Amino acid sequence: LERGRDVDTVRGFLGSQGPVALFDLPWMPLYLIFVYMLHPYLGALTFAGAFILSMLTIATELMTRRLSSATHQAAIARNAIADSNARNADILKAMGFAGRAVNRFNVANRDHLELQTRTNDISGTFGAISRVLRMILQSAVLGLGAWLTIQGELSAGAIIAASVASARALAPVDLAIGNWKGVVAARTAFQRLKETVVALAASDTPMDLPAPKATLKVEKITVAAPGSGRVLLSDVSFEINAGQALGIIGPSGGGKTTLARALTGIWPTLRGSVRLDDAELTQWADSNLGQYMGYLPQDVALLDATVEENISRLESKVDA
């Protein structure tokens, strides 16, 4: 879900004015050189303006980078609470703590809004400052150009040329500052997408294996929770042959669900291996392994599809 939002963030940025500013930035030196060729004083003034606006851009980056990351994490936490409340709405109603659940969401939402407001305030403030400075600099270029014309060092046409060129030199920086929030968000989203693609590309595609028929072997597996890293199972071993059944009982939190997740490949093992007909689970493609595996989690929810599609696991060609 979060990666889907990252794709939307990058796509939204590419359709905004942010890329236009980034593509125009490399042309700034050419405009500055052109203004300098018209007159060194005009070039120095335009260069000073470009330098000040560039410093504002750097300041915006430094002050919003950490806030943008914190805002994203707060948004993830808020969305997780909202999704959890929505999934368990009937339980919240029946057991009478819907109000406390809503208050918990409101706290997370308030934290997110505070961080988002601070980020927007910084970007908006620097954007407004940059626009004011750009207008002042353009007026200063016109004023300096008029004075140089009176002194006979510049022609009247050169004033217009200097004004247009200086505006084109400073506009990309002004536009970049105004869209810097989108630049930071898109950059962060793209980095996460890149890491995801690299991780997926690094995994090998398993070859097709024959249907398992003989044994299920669990060889000294140790399993830890992916989120916290806390070890939940340690050195578990057993073997089941075809036709045999095994039931596992124990207290709540004893590791029964963790074992089921390890047997189905939902959670990877830290040590040891789970083998079907002596082939480790990692050697099986998920689509192939799913044909021979059944799994009923503690919290059951049907997919947004018909009963037939849920039973057939969304298979388009179903045997009658």
Domains of the chain (ranges; CATH) run 2-202 (1.20.1560.10), 215-311 (3.40.50.300)
Q: 202 pLDDT band (50/70/90 cuts)?
A: low
Please compute the mean of the pLDDT values over residues 33-46 and round it to a whole number.
86
Angle at 255 between CA 278 and CA 296, to 5 degrees: 75
**What pLDDT shows up at residue 36?**
86
Strand, coil or helix: 146: helix
**What pLDDT shows up at residue 97?**
79
Please compute the mean of the pLDDT values over residues 281-307 and round it to a whole number.
76
Most confident by average pLDDT, 144-158, 173-187, 306-320: 144-158
**What pLDDT shows up at residue 205?**
67
**What pLDDT shows up at residue 2?**
62
CA separation (Å) from 303 to 28, 83, 292, 309, 314? Answer: 53, 15, 20, 9, 9
pTM above 0.85, yes or no: no
Q: 1 pLDDT band (50/70/90 cuts)?
A: low
**What pLDDT shows up at residue 295?**
79
**What pLDDT shows up at residue 146?**
86
Please compute the mean of the pLDDT values over residues 150-160 and round it to a whole number.
83
**What pLDDT shows up at residue 200?**
63
What is the DSSP pairing of strand 215-224 with strand 279-280? unpaired
- The structure tokens listed for 35 are 């203004």
Instruction: State yes or no: pLDDT of 20 exceeds 80.
Output: no
**Higher per-residue pLDDT: 270 or 227:** 270
